[in-house]
Every structure is written in C-alpha cells, then in structure tokens.
C-alpha cells in the first residue's frame, strides 16, 4: 500500500492534470455550450477534503488548515494573472470573510460562485506572514465542472451538469490528447442533453463527433488524438450492448469529425 504522502501527491498531481485539460476545453468551447459561466482557474482545498485519517498528514505536508487554501492555479488563468499562488490562504472574497471547519469549502464555493458573476472581485489572502489583496477578473467558460474521484475502475461519466473522471482512468490513459478526448466526449453528452434521453448508439457516435470538434477548438492535435485512441486497447473491446457502437463505427465518426472540423 502506498504511503500517505504518496497518496496525497498522487491526488494533487492527478487533479492538476485533469483540471488543466478541462480548463482548455471548457474555455475554448463557450460558443458550443448552452450553459456558460465565469471561470477563474482557481482551485482550493481544506484539511476537511481529506479522509479523517489523512488530515494531520495533509496539514503537515501541504501546510493547509480548516480554511480554504489554494491547491492549484491553472497556467494563464485569471487566478495566475491576479498573482495568486499555491499555498495562499484565502481570507476573504469581496470583503466576505471565509469561515473555518467542515463547511469552509462549501462556504467558499457559495460565496465565490456569486461574486465571480459580478466581474472583477477583490480577494484577500495570506502568504506566509503577509496579508495582501488582489483583484481577480473571471472570464467566460462552459459551465460543466470536471471532477476527479478515487476509484480503481477506468471510467468517466456525466450527469448532464458535471463530469466525473476516475483516478484509475487518468493513471491508465496518461496522454493529454487522449484524456482531452474523454473529457470532450462527456462534455458532448452534457451539451446535447443525452443523459436525459433514452441511450442509443447514435448518441455515443454524436458524442465522439462533437468531442473531436471540442478538442480541435481547444488547440489539440486531432490526428495525434485519433492515433492514440486507435492504439488504446480499451477502445477495441467488443460491445454487447446495443446502445454502444463498435470500434469501427466510432473510428469512422472520429475520422469524419477530424476532417470536417480541422
């Protein structure tokens, strides 16, 4: 079994990988998303985001506590431009003081979600012993959050509003273009409302088709993404469900989209 510090670092690394890819796709496809909202590239955590047995280790190794601390900053995002850094403790947003305890991150999410919609917002933070204030100006993004969760199954899915990806999938896939295709595929299911309809083979093929469109809009190499998808043995498994197309059908949909949208 991996040591606790390895688990902590894995969690941070996998989250950063997933969030960086998702940010590129979500901010590049505003025109393709029926639901949009403000995005900052700022991700926080508290000790209460970890299982009880790991909180002491998280507090020591990550220098965090029961209030929101910056966990990850997306490169080039509004949060980075505002000068925020990993490890900063968020003290207040728009002069609304953060609280501490089990509800601290929930409180942060509620406050920030409301304030980001107002445009430029002041954030007071503590870095070491120094307290400072900066101005953060969000920009528009597709409003479908992407989450990582620990699971030993290779899986990704959407509930139509958010997208969920397992740690095992990110570990197994690895390549950025391949992960981008998976996120974009689930985003397409969300944008087209497939989850609220009876599953069909056509919906899966449509998600492949639009997913390629979405990664191309984000600047990914579609030819490389298709090559990686083709080489992945997971995509060659035969399908017994009538609602899922076989490999050849999916390949044709992806290749058609690559030629259509490139």
Residue 1 has what pLDDT? 35
Place of tokens 């919609």: 117
Percent of the chain topping pLDDT 70 = 96
Overall average pLDDT of the 232-256 stretch: 83
Q: Which of 194, 115, 134 is nearest to 159 (CA)?
A: 194
Residue 5 has what pLDDT? 55
For the segment 60-79, what is each residue's pLDDT rounded down to a tens digit?
999 999 999 999 999 999 99
User: What string of DSSP letters covers 179-247?
Assistant: HHHHHHHHHHHHHTTGGGS---HHHHHHHHHHHHHHHHHTT--HHHHHHHHHH-GGGGS---STTS--H
Paired tokens of 194:
């497939």
pLDDT grade, residue 51 (50/70/90)?
confident
10 pLDDT more than 70: yes
32 pLDDT more than 90: yes
User: What sign does the dihedral 15-16-22-23 (CA atoms) show?
Assistant: positive
Overall average pLDDT of the 95-122 stretch: 95
pLDDT grade, residue 22 (50/70/90)?
very high
Residue 241 has what pLDDT? 63
Residue 53 has what pLDDT? 87
Residue ranges, comma separated, of all CATH 2.30.42.10 domains in the chain are 36-140
Q: How far apart are CA 47 and CA 191, in angstroms?
A: 34
Q: How far apart are CA 176 and CA 20, in angstroms?
A: 10
pLDDT grade, residue 243 (50/70/90)?
confident
196 pLDDT more than 50: yes
Q: Which CATH architecture has domain 36-140?
A: Roll (2.30)
CA 200 to chain centre: 26
Q: Which residues of 157-181 are buried (b: 16+ CB within 10 A; e: fewer)?
A: ebebeebbbbbebbeebeebbbbbb
Residue 83 has what pLDDT? 98
Overall average pLDDT of the 181-194 stretch: 97
pLDDT grade, residue 240 (50/70/90)?
low
């Amino acid at each position: 079994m991996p040591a606790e510090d390895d688990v902590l670092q894995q969690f941070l690394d996998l989250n950063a990988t997933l969030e960086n890819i998702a940010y590129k796709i979500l901010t590049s496809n505003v025109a393709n998303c029926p639901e949009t909202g403000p995005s900052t590239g700022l991700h926080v955590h508290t000790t209460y985001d970890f299982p009880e047995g790991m909180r002491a280790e998280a507090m020591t190794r990550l220098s965090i506590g029961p209030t929101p601390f910056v966990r990850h900053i997306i490169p080039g995002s509004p949060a980075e431009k505002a000068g925020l850094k990993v490890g900063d403790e968020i003290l207040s947003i728009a002069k609304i003081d953060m609280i501490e305890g089990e509800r601290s991150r929930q409180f942060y999410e509620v406050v920030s979600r409301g304030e980001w919609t107002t445009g430029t917002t002041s954030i007071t933070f503590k870095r070491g012993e120094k307290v400072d204030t900066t101005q953060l100006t969000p920009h528009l993004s597709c409003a479908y959050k992407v989450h990582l969760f620990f699971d030993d199954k290779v899986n990704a899915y959407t509930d139509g509003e958010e997208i969920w990806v397992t740690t095992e999938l990110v570990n197994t896939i690895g390549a950025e273009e391949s992960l981008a295709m998976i996120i974009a595929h689930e985003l397409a299911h969300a944008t087209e409302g497939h989850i609220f309809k009876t599953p069909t083979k056509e919906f899966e093929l449509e998600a492949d088709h639009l997913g390629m469109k979405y990664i191309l809009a984000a600047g990914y190499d579609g030819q490389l993404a298709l090559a990686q998808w083709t080489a992945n043995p997971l995509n060659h498994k035969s399908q017994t469900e009538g609602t899922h197309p076989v490999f050849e059908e999916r390949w044709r949909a992806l290749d058609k989209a690559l030629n259509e949208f490139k």
